[in-house]
Each structure stands twice: as structure tokens, then as C-alpha cells.
């Protein structure tokens, strides 16, 4: 088919680019496509992969892939791989035959751009429909004995699949349906758990008595806590649903932290109903528990929000915004803490003078 591409597009993840041409052989009921795929591994000896999946949905498991990489000695390698569930489970991953006939396969590395490009001609059996072709791509950083090692575990990597119409170039990605829910999950948890919960804690600590006694502190405190809990819990439910719909990947640490945070925030909110009275003998122990749980919760929330941002890899404004929110809360707490101790020391000196006079 030659090396002329008639269609090209920038793919939605990993900075990858894809070009192709196609020819329908109606006599033999098959289609031949020529493909070019380029991506930039983190290191020159990393690997890139592109493949097709005959199943109903575009996923890694079931993909018939072309994987290419460059050896440290400068030589290049490209071959076909059949990606199965055993591959995902960590079994040995070596070149294998696939039912798609592949010819004229090549891999080229550009030291100037850092891009690794694979190209080939594929003859697709009748079960592959080029107007609804499931294709998958990937980038990794490490190869050992011709065996590509696991890629990074970010959503950019897990979302690298789509269904494409090769005749028009239109496509629908895996992440299309989940994009808004992921964004909502992140925003709700940043606003609810990451902002309102710490703000409520600051109000409780600094406006109950020191440095400024404010009669309405309790109502503002519980309003922040309840509103933060409801907004954060909504984001948490969305996150749990997103995790349950992810058949082929999970973010265990992020999920476990989220469950712990939900449990701790629920316990803090229940304190509104089960808080001991001031005359109860164990009120002091309860105060210690309530404060320690609250401070632990704030730390866990901040850590998990950063984990979520690293998983989602959104625009840099997300991380900058949350760093700004944390910085503002921390600076406010620091100023109030200094003011509190200054006022406390002044009161102590005043009482000391009165005692010496009397």
C-alpha cells in the first residue's frame, strides 16, 4: 500500500499521534490498512504500542498489538504481541502470533524529538469493522529481554483506547463518558473535604475563645462541617462508582484513603448528636479524641487530593489552585495561632502582675 497516509489525528492521551490509510478488498471480504503511530517514551529505551481489539469495547485485554522499542545499543525491534488477561496479571509477555496479518512493520526513533514511531500494514479479517474499529495505544519506559514492562498507572495510560471510524476519522474515546464524572468527583472533594472541613476546624479552634470570642462560632463550625461532609460524600460516592466501573484497573491507595476519610468524616459529623455534655466526666477524653481525629482527617484529605490529582493528570491549574487553597488555610491558621499565643501570654503577664500586687 505504500507509505502514504490519507488521514491523521492527535490522540487524546499520552501526546500520541496516529496516521493511516485503508483499502477495501470486496472480492476477498477483507480490509488492508497502513498505520503510523508515534509517541514519546520518557526514556529513549522505552517502548510504544498500538493495536486493535476485536471485542465489543476497546480495552487492553484482547488487543492484538504491535510493540516497538530501541535497544541501548541503538538497534530497533518491533513485533506482534497478544495481550491477554494473563498479561495483566503479570505473566511473561513475549512476542506471539496474532490472527491479523502484519507486513512491512518498522520502528524508527528520532533523537531530536524523542518520538518513537511504528508503522505497518495490517490485513484485517471480516470481524474487524473499520467504521467501528477498536484501537488501543500505550507507552512504557522499560524493556527487559524483549519483554515490555508495566507502563505507568495513570488515567492517561488506562484511557488510551477509543473506537474510531477510519473512513471519516471520527472517534469516541473510553474517557469520553467518564470525563465529567471524574471532574465532578475531583471538584466536589476539593471543595467539600479539602476546603470546608479544614475551614470549619479553624473556626472551632480560633473563634471559640482565643484570639477572638465569637458567640456564633459553633453554628458556623457545624455549618462548614455538615456542608463539607455532604459535598465531599457526594464526590466520594461518585468516586466509588467510578472505581467499580473500572474492570481492568484500580487505584487501591487512593480508594482506601477515600474510604478512611469517609469513615472519619462520618464519625466527626455524628459528634453533633453524640457529643457528651460539659458536666460528663469523660468530656475531656472525648475532646482529645475529637481533635486528634480531626487533625488526622485534614492530613489524610490533603494527601489523597494530591494523589487524585496525580492520577487524573488534569491541567496544572488544578494543583496550583489546591496548593493556593491549602496555603491560604495554613497561613490563616498560622496568623491566628501566633495571635492566640500572643494574647495568651499577655493575659498570663497581666494575671501575674495582679497576683504580685495583691
Give phi and psi for 48, each to the nearest 5: -130, 150
Q: Is 185 annotated as a binding residue?
A: yes
Burial of 151 (0-12, 13-18, 19+ CB in 10 A): buried
Four-residue CA torsion sign, 108, 110, 111, 113: negative
Q: Is 71 annotated as a binding residue?
A: no
Q: Is 28 annotated as a binding residue?
A: no
Q: How far apart are CA 137 and CA 50, in angstroms?
A: 4
| Cis previous bond, 68, omega within 30 | no
Asked whether 31 and 131 are in contact (CB, 8 A), the reply is no
Q: Is 254 annotated as a binding residue?
A: yes
Q: How far apart are CA 43 and CA 222, in angstroms?
A: 51
Q: How far apart are CA 155 and CA 249, in angstroms?
A: 9
Q: Return the C-alpha cell found at 286.
A: 472525648
Neighbouring C-beta atoms of residue 120, cutoff 10 Å: 21
Positions at the binding site: 185, 221, 254, 290
Annotated binding site for heme b: 185, 221, 254, 290
Amino acid at each position: 500500500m505504500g507509505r502514504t497516509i490519507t488521514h491523521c489525528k492527535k490522540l487524546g492521551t499520552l501526546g500520541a499521534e496516529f496516521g493511516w490509510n485503508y483499502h477495501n478488498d470486496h472480492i476477498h471480504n477483507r480490509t488492508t490498512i497502513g498505520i503510523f503511530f508515534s509517541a514519546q517514551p520518557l526514556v529513549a529505551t522505552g517502548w510504544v504500542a498500538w493495536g486493535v481489539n476485536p471485542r465489543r469495547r476497546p480495552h487492553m485485554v484482547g488487543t492484538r498489538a504491535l510493540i516497538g522499542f530501541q535497544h541501548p545499543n541503538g538497534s530497533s525491534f518491533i513485533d506482534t504481541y497478544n495481550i491477554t488477561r494473563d498479561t495483566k496479571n503479570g505473566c511473561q509477555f513475549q512476542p506471539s502470533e496474532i490472527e491479523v496479518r502484519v507486513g512491512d512493520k518498522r520502528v524508527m526513533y528520532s533523537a531530536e524529538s524523542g518520538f518513537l514511531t511504528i508503522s505497518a500494514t495490517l490485513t484485517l479479517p471480516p470481524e474487524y469493522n473499520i467504521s467501528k474499529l477498536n484501537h488501543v495505544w500505550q507507552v512504557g519506559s522499560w524493556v527487559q529481554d524483549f519483554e515490555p514492562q508495566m507502563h505507568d498507572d495513570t488515567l492517561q495510560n488506562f484511557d488510551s483506547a477509543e473506537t474510531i471510524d477510519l473512513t471519516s476519522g471520527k472517534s469516541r474515546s473510553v474517557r469520553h463518558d467518564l470525563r465529567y464524572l471524574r471532574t465532578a468527583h475531583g471538584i466536589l472533594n476539593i471543595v467539600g473535604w479539602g476546603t470546608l472541613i479544614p475551614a470549619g476546624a479553624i473556626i472551632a479552634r480560633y473563634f471559640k475563645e482565643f484570639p477572638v470570642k465569637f458567640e456564633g462560632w459553633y453554628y458556623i463550625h457545624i455549618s462548614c462541617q455538615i456542608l463539607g461532609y455532604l459535598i465531599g460524600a457526594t464526590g466520594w460516592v461518585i468516586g466509588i462508582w467510578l472505581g467499580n466501573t473500572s474492570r481492568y484497573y484500580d487505584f487501591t491507595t487512593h480508594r482506601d484513603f477515600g474510604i478512611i476519610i469517609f469513615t472519619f468524616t462520618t464519625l466527626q459529623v455524628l459528634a453533633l448528636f453524640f457529643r457528651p455534655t460539659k458536666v460528663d466526666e469523660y468530656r475531656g477524653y472525648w475532646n482529645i479524641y475529637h481533635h486528634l481525629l480531626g487533625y488526622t482527617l485534614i492530613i489524610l484529605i490533603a494527601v489523597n487530593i494530591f494523589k487524585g490529582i496525580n492520577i487524573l493528570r488534569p491541567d496544572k491549574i488544578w494543583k496550583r489552585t489546591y496548593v493556593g487553597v491549602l496555603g491560604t488555610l495554613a497561613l490563616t491558621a498560622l496568623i491566628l495561632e501566633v495571635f492566640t499565643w500572643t494574647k495568651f501570654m499577655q493575659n498570663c503577664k497581666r494575671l501575674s502582675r495582679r497576683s504580685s500586687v495583691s
